[in-house]
Amino acid sequence: METDDRYYFRRACEEFEGARRAVTPAARRRRRELAETFLKRVDRMDATRIKTIFELQSGIRVPPDASQDQLHAA
């Protein structure tokens, strides 16, 4: 059985990917907002997960030494 954290993380990744593929700005915004809602439900996230989500959302590769604060500010 899938844990709650894993489910919410998986759904956030799916929504970020959907936002990346969305045709209209409104659809991108809705998908991104839904993804962020799922992320808020995840109790703890390590830096690797945050980096992956950021990269999926933005299409920007993050340097390996980037801090979590830098990811949130971008």
pTM as predicted? 0.61
Q: Are 42 and 29 in contact (CB under 8 A)?
A: no
> For the packed helices 25-41 and 47-58, what is the interaxial angle rounded to 10 degrees?
170
What pLDDT, in 10s, does the model give residues 35-71?
888 888 775 666 567 667 767 767 766 566 554 454 4
| Structure letter (DSSP) for residue 43 | S
The number of distinct structural domains making up the chain is 1
Q: Which domain holds residue 23?
A: 4-73
Confidence of residue 5 (pLDDT cuts 50, 70, 90): confident
Whole-number pLDDT of residue 24 = 95
